[in-house]
Amino acid sequence: MVEMVFVIVVLGIIAAIGSGIIAKIYESYIYSRNINNLQTKTELTLTQISRLLSFRVRNSTIARREANSSDIVSLPMADPNYKILEWIGYDNEGFEGNASGPGWSGLIDLNNPQTNKTQVKTPGSHLSYAEDIINALSYGDVNLSAPNSSVALIFKGLPNQFDIKQYGWDDWNGTINHNYIFRVKRSGSDILKFVENNATTVYEQYQLAWSAYAIVPEGNTSDSNLTFYYNYRPWMGEKYSDGNKSTLMEHVSTFKFRQIGSTIRLKLCVFNPVGNDFNITFCKEKVVF
């Protein structure tokens, strides 16, 4: 009997130790699985944002203090109180065109008699390719051949007495200032006509754009959804809420951005609620040139 009791006690001790070890192993597994999952999702999200920002019109990027706020600044001037990141993206897909050639070349022939204050000749362009691509990507909202085309031509370089609002940002009360943006329509394969305001000065290089983009944390400050807005045109008086949207990441606790020189630093922290009082958090930073 004594031996049986002794054996039972020993087995009980072993079981207690074993269950503790198993619990620790399972806890480590849950933690590792969640960390790996968060790491993968965070990396994918930052890579996606970085790729989109790599096609930004460099000087057009702004920070907005909060949703529906007209408090905006050029990104290099933003402090951590600005929560929303917006920019105008040039039409990279239309620029690349298709196997037959580029949609638009980005170059203007200043010596050609067809280049003047009302239109520009852009050699090497196949604007019908760009038209088809832009129309498809905008779900039919933008037509480069329409008489009232909303496609923007933006000359490269930093204008004198730079004013970020001249890209069409901010004034949502009816007044739209976009002296840096010239709406154009296609005329033939390589002529772009100014639709709204003629250019007083024509430069050799340009970019075409049909959409602005916004990254917006929505929800609670410590638990938000990172939402991506696209297919809207501030130079037409449209807000990001007028565009299409998709959720990039859920359970975001931190989304910060800062521009230093020509680079943008992004920081994203996300968490996964494991229990009622326990979250696993992962943070990652990325630099966009």
Q: Which residues pair with 271 in a beta bridge?
A: 281
Q: What is the pLDDT of residues 20-66, one digit of tens each?
A: 555 565 556 566 777 788 899 999 999 999 999 999 998 999 999 99
> Locate tokens 């600005």: which residue?
82
The predicted model scores a pTM of: 0.88
The tokens describing 15, both together, are 């079981």
Greater confidence, 15 or 74?
74
Dist. CA 227–CA 247, nearest whole Å: 4
What mean pLDDT is predicted for residues 138-160? 92
Contacts (Cβ under 8 Å, ≥6 apart) of 16 = none
CA–CA distances in Å: residue 179 to residues 108, 225, 246, 247: 19, 34, 31, 33
The tokens describing 286, both together, are 């990325």
What's the pLDDT band for 185 if we cut at 50, 70, 90? very high
Report DSSP letters for 201-234, one per residue.
S--SBEEEEEEEEEEEEEEETTEEEEEEEEEE-G
Q: pLDDT at residue 19 above 70?
A: no
Q: Which amino acid is at 258?
A: R
Give the pLDDT of residue 23.
Answer: 55
What are the two backbone dihedrals, phi and then psi, of residue 94, each rounded to the nearest 5 degrees? -70, -35
